[in-house]
């Protein structure tokens, strides 16, 4: 019996004009680790909705074809019945927690299955130990961080030992460390428990190494269904936005096979004699500091934020941003990145220290939808601003009906609009749920702001995005600045806060992107090719 069998499945959401899934036929065998790839609105989340039964039972709409999930016909079994065999994890941990304590949250799906109190208690302990969240069991779910909530939600999805686990961008809110931990855990579940994994993800470089198979979707149809290497070779020609940096590098050097992970890429480069020799660690050059009294768009002087009866979220942060500088702020969940941006934008006041602003500070928070207060896009901004943001055609649309990328552009245009242009632009996790082309567009926009003299500071967990726009990188830990240097220095030398290209090349010469690597290694390849 397959974990998932779809036969000519088409589905249209209520009120939608175009179908979200078009004649989908595919099978996923028990124990497979399948990654769903595709741009925004390709149909990944809808396919996961079919796997969990929310489509069509919860969302309604028009459904055609036959779907069987773990042997249950979707027409006869709704999400509640499927929940016996299917665990589901959505993108937003905020709405996936329904109980007040972690223990109650993990017990909830087991109680729904009618497990005895003893079996429920045992199940809770086991899943908590498996996920390493046993210390959280008595904690209130309200007090958990985003990463902790995502792990607890995963625990609730896993508590009944489901045969199929459907996950919709589960790492999008996690820092690289927590994201890697989650993916390692999924791999372990897949290998040791035989759980079938169906994972939708935009940052493919993080998960292809664990996958058996990749299904690429476009406009609700399967456009590629292959092993990771086969998928990457297909993507190189047909969908470059889905290609991982490692695959771009290897394909650019005309090498094979396309690498599903860092290890495979290094092996291919080593075999071709192109893998740079490990360099002895060199001391980082001291960071350029802006101690002068002039020309700073934003200056934080020993800023503290100490909670009453709690820890210090910021602990003596001092930094300065020059006009036109593009800064990326990195760090684990809870390191203080969002708090720092809120202080910069005067949403929070430091408990100690001082902040000097060279003009208005615009801040785009994590949820662009929070900025919209009107029923028409045209009421949020004037026509000229909409035109500049490339949203002129959406004036009559409701902001909630715009795509994720459009909503973010609209929110960005709102915060940077107004009579007084901003001196500083802060963005908090702007790439959540974005596909690669949307990220590239955002990076271009940020570079445009910088060219107009706006200092840009972005908190992100995405090293690839950081490498695409930043001229300076700051690493925060426990509310302190622990590194402040060039992106080449910071993003090339680490394990977690490093781009895939940097990890492949072992930090060689601070190379961060596939394009930089091709420029460097392409010459070496030519030299090797010309050897007698």
Decide: is 367 part of the binding site for another protein (CB under 8 A). yes
Decide: is 324 part of the binding site for another protein (CB under 8 A). no
Query: CA-to-CA distance for 140 and 131, rounded, in angstroms?
Result: 18
Decide: is 362 part of the binding site for another protein (CB under 8 A). yes
Among residues 309, 367, 315, 373, the alpha carbon closest in space to that of 343 is found at: 315
Cβ-based nearer residue to another protein, 100 or 194: 100
**Contact with another protein (CB under 8 A): which of 19, 38, 43, 53?**
53
Q: Starting from the edge strand earliest in sequence, which strands make up the sheet with 361-364, in order?
A: 361-364, 424-428, 455-459, 326-330, 472-477, 480-485
Decide: is 384 part of the binding site for another protein (CB under 8 A). no
Interface segment toward another protein; rule CB under 8 A; list 62-70, 72-80, 232-240, 315-323 = 72-80
- Min separation Cβ 382 and another protein, Å: 11
419-458 footprint of another protein as x/- string (CB under 8 A): xx--------------------------------------
Decide: is 70 part of the binding site for another protein (CB under 8 A). no
**Contact with another protein (CB under 8 A): which of 23, 31, 115, 392?**
115
- Min separation Cβ 81 and another protein, Å: 5
Residues 6+ apart with CB under 8 A from 347: 363
Question: Hey, which bits of 39-132 come out as E strands?
Answer: 62-69, 72-73, 86-89
Residues 6+ apart with CB under 8 A from 495: 503
Backbone angles phi, psi at 167, to 5 degrees: -125, 130
Instruction: State the sign of the Cα–Cα–Cα–Cα dihedral 267, 272, 278, 279.
Output: negative
Contact criterion met (CB below 8 Å) for 39 and 437 = yes
End-to-end alpha-carbon separation of the chain, Å?
A: 57
- Min separation Cβ 440 and another protein, Å: 25
Decide: is 225 part of the binding site for another protein (CB under 8 A). no
- Min separation Cβ 360 and another protein, Å: 8
Decide: is 14 part of the binding site for another protein (CB under 8 A). no
**Contact with another protein (CB under 8 A): which of 364, 391, 424, 456?**
364
Contact criterion met (CB below 8 Å) for 104 and 139 = no
- Min separation Cβ 370 and another protein, Å: 4
Decide: is 197 part of the binding site for another protein (CB under 8 A). no
Q: Which residues of 183-214 are buried (b: 16+ CB within 10 A; e: fewer)?
A: bebbbebbeeeebbbbbbbbbbbbbbbbbbbb
Decide: is 510 part of the binding site for another protein (CB under 8 A). no
Decide: is 117 part of the binding site for another protein (CB under 8 A). yes
Interface segment toward another protein; rule CB under 8 A; list 26-34, 103-111, 128-136, 437-445 = 103-111
Decide: is 72 part of the binding site for another protein (CB under 8 A). no
**Contact with another protein (CB under 8 A): which of 86, 124, 265, 319?**
86
- Min separation Cβ 319 and another protein, Å: 21
Decide: is 389 part of the binding site for another protein (CB under 8 A). no
Helix or strand holding residue 500 (H, E): helix 500-504
Query: CA-to-CA distance for 223 and 229, rounded, in angstroms?
Result: 15
Cβ atoms within 10 Å, residue 117: 10
- Min separation Cβ 231 and another protein, Å: 28
Cβ-based nearer residue to another protein, 21 or 364: 364
Report the C-alpha dihedral over residues 192, 197, 202, 208, rounded to 10 degrees: 50
Cβ-based nearer residue to another protein, 62 or 374: 374
Interface segment toward another protein; rule CB under 8 A; list 13-21, 76-84, 275-283, 321-329 = 76-84
**Contact with another protein (CB under 8 A): which of 72, 108, 177, 316?**
108
Query: CA-to-CA distance for 24 and 306, rounded, in angstroms?
Result: 54
Query: CA-to-CA distance for 461 and 173, rounded, in angstroms?
Result: 8
Task: Return residues touching another protein (CB under 8 A).
Answer: 52-54, 57-58, 78-81, 83-84, 86-88, 90, 92, 94-101, 104, 108-109, 111-117, 138-140, 142, 156-157, 160, 342, 345, 347, 360, 362-365, 367, 370-373, 400, 414-415, 417-420
């Amino acid at each position: 019996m397959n974990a998932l069998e779809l036969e000519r499945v088409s589905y249209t959401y209520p009120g939608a004009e175009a179908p979200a899934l078009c004649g989908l036929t595919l099978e996923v065998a028990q124990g497979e680790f399948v990654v769903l790839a595709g741009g925004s609105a390709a149909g990944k989340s809808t396919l996961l909705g079919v796997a969990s039964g929310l489509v069509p039972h919860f969302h309604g709409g028009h459904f055609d074809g036959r779907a069987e999930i773990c042997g249950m016909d979707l027409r006869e079994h709704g999400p509640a019945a499927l929940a016996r065999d299917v665990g589901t994890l959505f993108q937003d941990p905020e709405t996936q927690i329904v109980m007040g304590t972690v223990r109650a949250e993990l017990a909830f799906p087991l109680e729904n299955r009618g497990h005895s109190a003893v079996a429920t208690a045992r199940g809770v302990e086991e899943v908590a130990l498996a996920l390493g969240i046993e210390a959280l069991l008595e904690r209130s779910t309200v007090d958990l961080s985003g990463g902790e909530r995502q792990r607890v939600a995963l625990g609730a999805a896993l508590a009944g030992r489901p045969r199929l686990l459907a996950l919709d961008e589960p790492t999008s809110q996690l820092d690289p460390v927590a994201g890697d931990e989650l993916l390692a855990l999924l791999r372990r579940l897949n290998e040791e428990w035989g759980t079938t994994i169906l994972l939708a993800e935009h940052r493919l470089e993080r998960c292809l190494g664990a996958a058996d198979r990749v299904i690429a979707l476009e406009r609700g149809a399967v456009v590629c269904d292959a092993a990771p290497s086969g998928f990457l070779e297909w993507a190189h020609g047909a969908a470059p936005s889905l290609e991982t940096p490692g695959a771009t590098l290897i394909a650019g050097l005309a090498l094979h096979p396309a690498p599903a992970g860092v290890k495979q890429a290094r092996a291919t480069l080593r075999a071709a004699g192109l893998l740079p020799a490990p360099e002895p660690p060199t001391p980082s050059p001291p960071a350029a500091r802006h101690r002068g009294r002039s020309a700073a768009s934003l200056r934080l002087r020993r800023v503290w934020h100490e909670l009453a009866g709690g820890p210090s979220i910021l602990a003596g942060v001092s930094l300065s941003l020059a006009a036109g500088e593009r800064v990326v702020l990195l760090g684990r969940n809870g390191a203080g990145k969002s708090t720092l941006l809120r202080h910069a934008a005067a949403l929070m006041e430091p408990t100690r220290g001082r902040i000097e602003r060279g003009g208005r500070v615009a801040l785009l928070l994590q949820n662009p939808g929070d900025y919209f207060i009107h029923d028409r896009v045209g009421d949020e901004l004037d026509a000229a601003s909409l035109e500049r943001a490339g949203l002129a055609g959406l004036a009559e649309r409701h902001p909630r009906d715009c795509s994720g990328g459009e909503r973010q552009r609209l929110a960005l245009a709102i915060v940077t609009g107004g009579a007084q242009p901003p001196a500083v632009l802060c963005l908090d996790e702007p790439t959540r749920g974005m596909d690669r082309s949307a990220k590239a567009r955002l990076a271009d926009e940020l570079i445009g702001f910088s060219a107009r003299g706006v200092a840009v500071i972005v908190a992100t967990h995405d090293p690839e995005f950081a490498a695409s726009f930043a001229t300076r990188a700051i690493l925060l830990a426990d509310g302190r600045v622990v590194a402040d240097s060039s992106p080449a220095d910071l993003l090339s030398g680490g394990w977690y806060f490093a781009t895939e290209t940097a990890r492949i090349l072992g930090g060689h010469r601070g190379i961060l992107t596939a394009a930089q690597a091709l420029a460097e290694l392409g010459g070496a390849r030519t030299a090797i090719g010309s050897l007698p």
